[in-house]
Amino acid sequence: MEKETTEVPALKEQNETEVEEEESDEQEEESVEELKRRLTKAEELAQNQKLRAEKAERKAKGSTEIKEGLSDTDILFLAKTNIHDDDVSDVIRWAKNDGISVKEAYAQFKPILDTRTEERTSASVTHTKGGARGTNKVSGEDLLRKAERTGEVPDTDEGMMALATARRLAGPQ
C-alpha cells in the first residue's frame, strides 16, 4: 500500500503540471490571437494614414493642375497658340510622355505641326472647285445625234442599246 500512496502524489503532481501546461498553451494561443488582431489593426491604421496623406498631397497639387494634368500655364498656352484641333492631343501626349511642359513639347513638335498645316492648306486649295467630277452619262438621244453627224457608234453594249432605243423612239425620218 505504500506504493499506492507514493504514486498518488506523483500522479497528482503530473496532473497538475499537465493542467498548467494546458492553461499556458491556451494563454499562448490567446496571446498569439491577440497579437494577430493588434497587428491587423495596426496595418489597417497605417494604410488609412497612407491614403489620407496621398489624398492631402493630391488636394494640394490639385490647385495647380486640372484633371488632365495640365497646369494653368499649359492651358493658357494652348488657348493662345494657333494649333489645329487634330494636333492638340498629339502635343499633350508628347508633353506627358517626355515629362515636359506643353510649351516645350510644342517647340519640339513644331516642325511636324508645320508640315501638317501645310498639307491641310494644300488639300483645301485643291478641293475649292467643288466635289469630284464624274463622267456624264450620255443619253440615247445624244448618242443618236453624234452617230448621225459623225458616224461614230458607241463601243459598249449599253451604249448600243441606248442608241437603238433612241432610234426607235425617234421614229422614221
The per-residue pLDDT for range 91-118, each reduced to its tens digit, is: 888 888 888 889 999 999 899 999 999 9
Task: Give, in order, the Cα–Cα distances in Å from 64 to each of 53, 70, 74, 99.
Answer: 18, 8, 11, 16
State residue 52's pLDDT score. Answer: 87
Rounded CA separation 37/28 (Å): 14
Which comes out higher in pLDDT, residue 27 or 164? 164
pLDDT at 124: 81
Q: If pLDDT is split at 50, 70 and 90, which confidence band does 64 have?
A: very low
Question: Which pLDDT band, with edges at 50, 70 and 90, does 24 fall under?
Answer: low
Tens of pLDDT, residues 10-21 = 566 666 666 666
Q: What is the mean pLDDT of residues 43-59?
A: 86
CA atoms of 67 and 75, how far apart (whole Å): 12
Q: Kindly state the percentage of the chain with pLDDT values over 70.
A: 73
Domain ranges of the chain: 1-63, 68-125, 140-170
Mean pLDDT of the chain: 79
Tell which wins on pLDDT, 115 or 65: 115
pLDDT at position 55, please?
83
Note the pLDDT of residue 9: 60
What is the 3-class SS of 76-110, one letter each residue?
HHHHHCCCCHHHHHHHHHHHHHHCCCHHHHHHHHH
Q: Quick check: helix, strand or coil at residue 172?
A: coil
Looking at residue 65, its pLDDT comes to 42
